[in-house]
Amino acid sequence: EVQLLQSGGGLVQPGGSLRLSCVASGFTFISYDITWIRQGPGQGLEWVSRISGSGRSAYYADSVRGRFSLSRDNSKNTVDLDMKSLRVEDTAVYYCAKDRSGWPEFDHWGQGVLVTV
């Protein structure tokens, strides 16, 4: 069974930092890109960042580029989202998600973690 288990959310002051983690199981982790998507209070879905299976390529939304950094450890089936210089507008539930099959069609999602700035 595919599972994405997230951790690391919480309350942080503006300008602070936080690390979110996503631990995967049930599939060949290195074969799949992992994407982070967030949802502000009462808002829609917003793409945040995406990392390739190898970890060599990472992409960021303009709203977080230069402040957020995405990395993965394929030996531990883990993806980490490091968030710095946090702003009030970064307050959201953050989800990690897995591609269905090579395309950014997200067939499995983490449970989501709340970040409050």
Partner 1 sequence: EIVMTQSPALVSVSPGERATLSCRASQSVDSKLAWYQQKPGQAPRLLIYAASTRATGIPDRFSGTGSGTEFTLTISSLQSEDFAIYYCQEYHNWPPLTFGGGTKVEVK
**25 contacts partner 1 (rule: CB under 8 A):** no
**14 contacts partner 1 (rule: CB under 8 A):** no
**41 contacts partner 1 (rule: CB under 8 A):** no
Task: Tell me the window of 14-22, 24-32, 41-49, 79-87 that interacts with partner 1 (CB under 8 A).
Answer: 41-49
Residues 77 and 65 sit within 8 Å (Cβ to Cβ): no
Helix (H, G, I), strand (E, B) or coil at 57: coil
**60 contacts partner 1 (rule: CB under 8 A):** yes
**Choice from 29, 50, 70, 72 touching partner 1 (CB under 8 A):** 50
Task: Return the ∠ at Cα 69 (arms to 63 and 73), rounded to 5°.
Answer: 145
What is the Cα 2 distance to its own chain's centre? Answer: 17
Residue 84's Cβ-count burial label (10 Å; 0-12, 13-18, 19+) is middle
- Contacts with partner 1 by CB under 8 A lie at 35, 37, 44-47, 50, 59-62, 95, 97, 100, 103-107, 109-112
